[in-house]
Structure 1
Amino acid sequence: MSWSSGEMMTIAAARTLRGDSKCFVGIGKPSTAANLARRTHAPGLVLVYESGTIGAKPGRLPLSIGDGMLAETADAVVSVPEIFNYWLQPGRIDMGFLGAAQLDRFANINTTVIGADYADPAVRLPGAGGAPEIAASCREVIVIVAHSRRTFVEKVDFVTSVGFGGGPGDRERHGLRGSGPQLVVTDLGMLAPDPETCELTLTHLHPGVTLDRAREATGWDLRVAPDLRTTDAPTDTELRVLRALEEG
């Protein structure tokens, strides 16, 4: 079966989710990937949504964090303050799954404004939601985002959610509990932070994608792992399940 770059991105992201991990999920691509993982290799994956649903098992992709189906299929429903104050902030959530409008070389995320003037931006985005707390407190974070110079910028216009700040030691100085973004999955490949510099480094290219294309789509001098690998192509099963999920 053939596939699109968007399908490759979603499937690659889904594969990163493990067993019975507790995953804090955002709406959009993160939710699609998480639900795909639960339907394929990780049936015990515990989906946690910002609205307070724990262990949701939606039969289709939720329209928002307030979709009633999340509460109807959850193991438990708690208040929004409890989901943040008791579950997220103390480090009880294994993985956070986030998107981004802008992302820089240290995996800082912007979902607030595009443009230097916060009061009069070129574009005002949906905003933070629970993303800053997810980025701060989940044990690790995965980011899923389309790869282009518009998104992969030298410096984000606004830091909505801290990745690694300006480099090594910044998370610790800010008192952030979690280990930060450990993987960025795009429609071209996958990136991970360098263990010494925290700078995002290209570790995988998806099938058919060239290194030159990835570099051209990045707004900084992209670092490349010495053992750059090719992502495994989607299986027929992954594609069938993903397409059925998206068709509802």
Structure 2
Amino acid sequence: LDKFGNINTTVIGDYAHPKTRLPGGGGAPEIATSSRQVYITMAQSKRGMVEKIDFFTSFGHGEGGDHRKRLGIDTAGPTLLITDLAIWKPDPVTKEFTVVSLHPGVIRAQVQETCGWTVKFAEALDETPAPTELELKTLRDLQARTKAAHQGTAKGKAA
């Protein structure tokens, strides 16, 4: 992911001679340009949040500003980025992701240390509300069902 919400899941390095070939886009490129809004969730890391991506798999805000509009893409693109440290929204003009809320106990330095570009923070920086009991119960239920569904599966064996 770059600071404008563009996502690379195709190659690291030159396309013709990649250092690493990634799994590809599946239907993500179409979703990124056709959905009214796109929410991105990810663990925050310098490896995953880079200054410049090597390949545009899923188009976010391109080079920023009105790049989507200039290409005839009339959907909003990435409107929210949620990491394990913060909540980010694109700047209304530049479209660069800006931190609008830090999760409880997280400080600005942690966010910057785990990001591959110079982070912009909103002037009115909020603290993300702690999850409610219902949200925690729902998450725990989902995790338990996922674990149960995948128990006993191994590489090369059918579920």
Q: Which one has the bigger helix percentage? A: 1
Counterpart of 1:110 in 2: which secondary structure?
coil
- Which of 103, 127, 145 is residue 230 of structure 1 equivalent to? 127
* Match in the other structure for 1:247: 144
- Aligned identity (percent) is 52
Counterpart of 1:191 in 2: which secondary structure?
strand
RMSD of aligned Cα (Å): 1.1
- Alignment pair present for 1:122 and 2:19: yes
Of structures 1 and 2, the one scoring higher in RCO (CA 8 A, sep 6+) is 2
* Match in the other structure for 1:181: 78
* Match in the other structure for 1:43: none
Matches within 5 A, 1:85-124: 103-114=1-12, 116-124=13-21
Determine the C-alpha separation between the residues in 2 that align with 1:185 and 1:205: 10
Q: CA deviation at 1:148?
A: 0.7
- Which of 113, 126, 135 is residue 216 of structure 1 equivalent to? 113
- Which of 159, 181, 191 is residue 56 of structure 2 equivalent to? 159
Determine the C-alpha separation between the residues in 2 that align with 1:144 and 1:190: 9
Q: Which amino acid aligns with 2:82?
A: V
Q: TM-score, normalised by structure 2?
A: 0.87
Counterpart of 2:18 in 1: which secondary structure?
coil
Q: Which amino acid aligns with 2:2?
A: D
Determine the C-alpha separation between the residues in 2 that align with 1:224 and 1:211: 8
Name the count of aligned residue pairs: 145
Moved over 4 A (4+): none
* Match in the other structure for 2:154: none
Q: Which amino acid aligns with 1:111?
A: T
- Which of 191, 196, 200 is residue 88 of structure 2 equivalent to? 191
